Amino acid sequence: MSADEGLAARRAALVALKAVDEEGAWSNTAIPAAVSELPEVRDRAFASHLAYDTLRWSGTLDWALGHALSRPLDDVEPALQRVLRLGALQLLRTGVPARAAVATSVALAKEQVPGKRAQGAGGFVNGVLRGLSRTVDTLPWPDTTDAPVASLRLTTAHPSWVVLELLERYGRERAEEILWADNEPPGLTLRATGDRDALLAELRAAGLEVEPGAVADAVRAPGVDPRELAAVNEGRAVPQDEASMRVVLATGAGPGDDVLDLCAGPGGKSTHLATLVGPEGSVTAVELHPHRAEMVRRSAARQQVPVEVHVGDALAPPLADEARFDVVLLDAPCTGLGTGRRRPEVRWRRQPEDAAALADLQNRLLLAAAERVAVGGSLTYSACTWTAVETVEVADGFESGPLGPDFERRERVQLLPDVDDTDGMFITGWTRTA
């Protein structure tokens, strides 16, 4: 990789970081978009690695930079903060030579702050990163015994409240395993919308290394860009984590069932449900946000499965008052911490008060969902997170609440990346008995 090519890859990474920071984009869409114009596969891979890891390790990078700065990092303008983090990542967590990491960062700083301030911006970044490069091996990492939360916060790149939550629930050894697993890029998982063996054969014929997943219809395709797959574009496969597939299977939906999918966007679960219930069943999807409802419609059209989509609030679905369903799924809005392998920035965007506020909404949504279950039907609650307040406490609260006596629990499971190699998904379900 030449110096110019290396700079182009780093420039693309910065574009993605800016989209995440300033536009609120998610990295799993912003990064592929930012690197797509790079001509070489290795450049796209390098840029993606830099962007994802800069987001993942930003808390640790900020701590390290704090030891090289003479002022708080927050006082540095955002464009240069991103350049500094990108440079610090290369110094702390890659094999990039320090000279190259510093030189390319200086060049990027001059681009980010053009005009008369460019030279000064370059000099500032040069001084900070050169200072950090001299102290990388002597940074004062917290002691793992005396300060376990602070140690894990920095060594596994997660905020203290997330570390503390996992320590309290799972103990030191398991918590550390979960945190490290949450840093491992998951690779692509596909759901075959038809015959899985036929999809495997198609992908292998195209020269791709794929294997069956642990869940029926799942195909693991690490390193593959789904946008480049004809099978995805033509509806024979859908990018979907196995945890989401397990949510759908947990509903028990089968041929002929009438299904209600609440909070349905972007539609992966709705279309999966439509496949399971077949032409004799039905799937009604309710989604609050119009653009996400349109995603459900497009997904159903691409897969050629019928889904009736309504834009509306799951707390008061735009359905007939008497409408009841054999299967009701509530995949609730949540902190999304379970998606951290694919969206590492989520750990830094969320605060503990977010979990508490979302739990209040989840409790109300679950009661509304339960009202729509026919006697003998199933109710499934899922949340792609692992905080207790959004998972077991919501489920326990429902069971001890006014509708609890009418429902019998079927299952309860917390998927986690260290053991299940999936998103961190909570799934629980009940059968309505009265």
pLDDT, tens digit, for every residue of 171-191?
999 999 999 999 999 999 999
Give which of 421, 338, 361 is closest to 165, Cα–Cα: 338
Which of 85, 112, 138 is at the close of a domain?
138
Give which of 235, 282, 290 is closest to 264, Cα–Cα: 290
Q: List Cα–Cα distances, 135 to 62, 64, 81, 100, 293, in angstroms.
A: 14, 9, 19, 17, 51
For residue 203, the model assigns a pLDDT of 97
Residue 50 has pLDDT above 90, yes or no: yes
Q: Containing domain of residue 152, as a range?
A: 148-181
In a domain, 365, yes or no: yes
CATH number at residue 12: 1.10.940.10
Structure tokens at 341: 């392998």
In a domain, 195, yes or no: no
Neighbouring-strand partners of residue 381: 330, 428
How far is residue 60's CA from residue 58's CA, in Å, rounded to a whole number?
Answer: 5
Q: Are residues 90 and 162 in the same domain?
A: no
The DSSP element (H or E) to which 211 belongs, if any, is strand 211-212
Structure tokens at 15: 């574009």
| List of residues 6+ apart from 45 with CB closer than 8 A | none
Residue 344 has pLDDT above 80, yes or no: yes
Neighbouring-strand partners of residue 407: 432
Q: Are residues 174 and 271 in the same domain?
A: no
Tell me if 269 sits within 8 A of 244, measured CB to CB: yes
Q: Are residues 86 and 172 in the same domain?
A: no
Give which of 250, 249, 200, 262 is closest to 229, Cα–Cα: 200
| pLDDT confidence band for 264 (50 / 70 / 90) | very high
Q: Are residues 177 and 246 in the same domain?
A: no
How many independent structural domains does the chain possess? 3
Residue 4 has pLDDT above 70, yes or no: no
DSSP alpha helix (H) spans, 156-250: 160-181, 196-205, 230-233, 242-250
Of 117-121, 240-244, 341-345, where does mean pLDDT reach its minimum?
117-121
Q: Are residues 121 and 247 in the same domain?
A: no
Q: Are residues 13 and 124 in the same domain?
A: yes
Give which of 330, 396, 389 is closest to 356, Cα–Cα: 389
In a domain, 218, yes or no: no
Q: Are residues 165 and 131 in the same domain?
A: no
In a domain, 306, yes or no: yes
Tell me if 51 sits within 8 A of 27, measured CB to CB: yes
For the stretch 131-180, pLDDT in tens is 999 999 999 999 999 999 999 999 999 999 999 999 999 999 999 999 99
Q: Are residues 21 and 167 in the same domain?
A: no
Count CB-CB contacts under 10 A for residue 15: 18
For residue 335, the model assigns a pLDDT of 98
Q: Are residues 244 and 118 in the same domain?
A: no
In a domain, 186, yes or no: no
Q: Which residue has the tokens 């000099």?
A: 123
The DSSP element (H or E) to which 396 belongs, if any, is helix 392-399
Residue 5 has pLDDT above 60, yes or no: no
Q: Are residues 374 and 355 in the same domain?
A: yes
CATH number at residue 364: 3.40.50.150
In a domain, 213, yes or no: no
Average pLDDT for 379-394: 98
Tell me if 270 sits within 8 A of 300, measured CB to CB: yes
How far is residue 63's CA from residue 422's CA, in Å, rounded to a whole number?
Answer: 29
In a domain, 297, yes or no: yes
How far is residue 256's CA from residue 278's CA, in Å, rounded to a whole number?
Answer: 7
Q: Which residue has the tokens 């707390």?
A: 315
Of 5-9, 124-128, 164-168, 358-362, where does mean pLDDT reach its minimum?
5-9
Tell me if 6 sits within 8 A of 40, measured CB to CB: no
Average pLDDT for 372-383: 98
Angle at 180 between CA 393 and CA 152, to 5 degrees: 80
In a domain, 202, yes or no: no
Helix, strand, or coil here: 190?
strand
Q: Would strands 218-221 and 211-212 be described as parallel, antiparallel, or unpaired?
A: antiparallel
Structure tokens at 401: 């609440």
How far is residue 251's CA from residue 270's CA, in Å, rounded to a whole number?
Answer: 12
Q: Are residues 306 and 168 in the same domain?
A: no
| pLDDT confidence band for 116 (50 / 70 / 90) | confident
Q: Catalytic residue positions?
A: 384
For the stretch 215-233, pLDDT in tens is 999 999 998 999 899 999 9
Residue 77 has pLDDT above 60, yes or no: yes
Tell me if 290 sits within 8 A of 268, measured CB to CB: no
Q: Are residues 321 and 424 in the same domain?
A: yes
For the stretch 286-320, pLDDT in tens is 999 999 999 999 999 999 999 999 999 999 999 99
